[in-house]
Structure 1
Amino acid sequence: MRYPAEETAEKHQRILTQAARLFREKGYDGVSVGQIMQATGLTHGPFYNHFASKEALMAESTLHGSEHSRVALDAATISPEAMRQYVRDYVSAAHRDAPGDGCLLAALAGDARKQPAVRPAFTFHLKSIIGKLAAHFPWKKKNHARQDAIVMLSAMVGAVALARAVDDEAFSDEILKAVNTAFTT
């Protein structure tokens, strides 16, 4: 039975959205195609009507998640204070505690290096975010904006990843606060 194109496209987007969330929560190897399809309310059977493989889904869902993150950053480019707020929100307990809803960089950097199919999408996302930060963050000196954006984003991603990894909530909060303070005051 053939489904209308709109319904097929909606299902495809639903799969991408749930896959991106689950991959951020559990890693690329931590979630199965069956779990993704179950999260979408679909059976495992139609998966291959949408994707050639799990690796193809991983790559496309990484781009899908990237688009979501870039939209949030685009909204922050309206003012210097909005850019600072973007950093505050990124390096926060709320972001730390919700990897499925957060940035794919902090959630999947360690996994992406082991997934050749994902690396181009991951690289595209990273370069895009660095470019936007370099162009729009209120740098004190503009002559090293790209280098400063790389340093800042590396610190932000690292802070969230480390804050998620430790078993001491006070220390986790301290990590976030240190990086937050370094870039927003």
Structure 2
Amino acid sequence: MRVSKAKVAEHRTAILESASRLFRERGFNDVGVAEIMQASGLTHGAFYGHFRSKAELAGEACREACAEGLAGWKKTGDIGTIIDRYLSTTHRDAPAKGCAISALAADIAREGPQMQQDYAGGIRRFIGTIEDHLKEADAEARHRKAIAIFATMTGALTMARGVAEGDPALSVEILENARAQLRACFGI
């Protein structure tokens, strides 16, 4: 039975959405192709009609997740709001719906150069979006500031997630103090 181009595109989107959510929630190695396809409502055999490998899917899912996050950031009027939303318990508790950069930080170091390049591209786009929200006239100073802000945000969120169940009070402290320090250090 022949499937229309529109249906093929719909299936591919479903696969990417499921993979993106599952990878952010559990990491690359703890999610299999069969599980992604089941979550997409498709058979395991249909996978190879869309992707050559799990690695190819992972790279594309990472890019899609970053694009989704960036779209949300671009709708936000100021950097303070971005920081507050990013460093919140709501974001901490929803890695499957949150920032791919933080959710995949531990996994990506074990991946190959192509995945790391895709990840780096996402980081660069997030940094660029932060730069767009900053007011410094000097482009280099704005770039350095954006790197420091994003590194602090992703590091704090990663740490807060890492202790959320074992030491919930510390997790909240990490988020609150990172927000406060970013605002104080950068006049946000």
What is the aligned partner in structure 2 of residue 56 from structure 1?
Answer: 56
| Greater RCO (Cα-Cα under 8 Å, separation 6 or more) | 1
Q: Distance in 1 between matches of 2:119 and 2:139?
A: 26
Q: What TM-score, normalized by structure 2, do the two folds share?
A: 0.91
Q: What TM-score, normalized by structure 1, do the two folds share?
A: 0.92
What is the aligned partner in structure 1 of residue 174 from structure 2?
Answer: 175
| Structure 1: segments with no counterpart, 5+ residues | none
What is the aligned partner in structure 2 of residue 36 from structure 1?
Answer: 36
Q: What is the Cα deviation at residue 142 of structure 1?
A: 6.8
- Kindly tell me: are residues 115 and 159 of structure 1, through their superposed partners in 2, closer, same or farther at Cα, counting changes over 3 Å? same
- Kindly tell me: are residues 158 and 173 of structure 1, through their superposed partners in 2, closer, same or farther at Cα, counting changes over 3 Å? same
Count residues in correspondence. 181
- Kindly tell me: are residues 138 and 177 of structure 1, through their superposed partners in 2, closer, same or farther at Cα, counting changes over 3 Å? farther
Q: Distance in 2 between matches of 1:102 and 1:29?
A: 19
Task: Provide Cα deviations, 1:40-81, integer angstroms capped at 9, x if missing partner.
Answer: 1111010000000000100111111111011011112xx3xx
The answer as to whether partners of 2:85 and 2:91 remain within 8 angstroms in 1 is yes
1:106-121 residue pairs with structure 2 within 5 A? Answer: 106-116=102-112, 117-121=114-118
1:74-153 residue pairs with structure 2 within 5 A? Answer: 74-76=74-76, 79=77, 82-116=78-112, 117-138=114-135, 144-153=141-150
Task: Provide Cα deviations, 1:74-124, integer angstroms capped at 9, x if missing partner.
Answer: 112xx3xx3211110000100100000000011001111211232121111
% identity of equivalent residues: 34
Q: 1:157 aligns with which of 154, 157, 163?
A: 154
Q: What is the Cα deviation at residue 132 of structure 1?
A: 1.4
Q: Secondary structure at the match of 1:181?
A: helix
Q: Distance in 1 between matches of 2:19 and 2:148?
A: 29
Q: Secondary structure at the match of 2:34?
A: helix
Q: Distance in 2 between matches of 1:10 and 1:23?
A: 20
| Structure 2: segments with no counterpart, 5+ residues | none
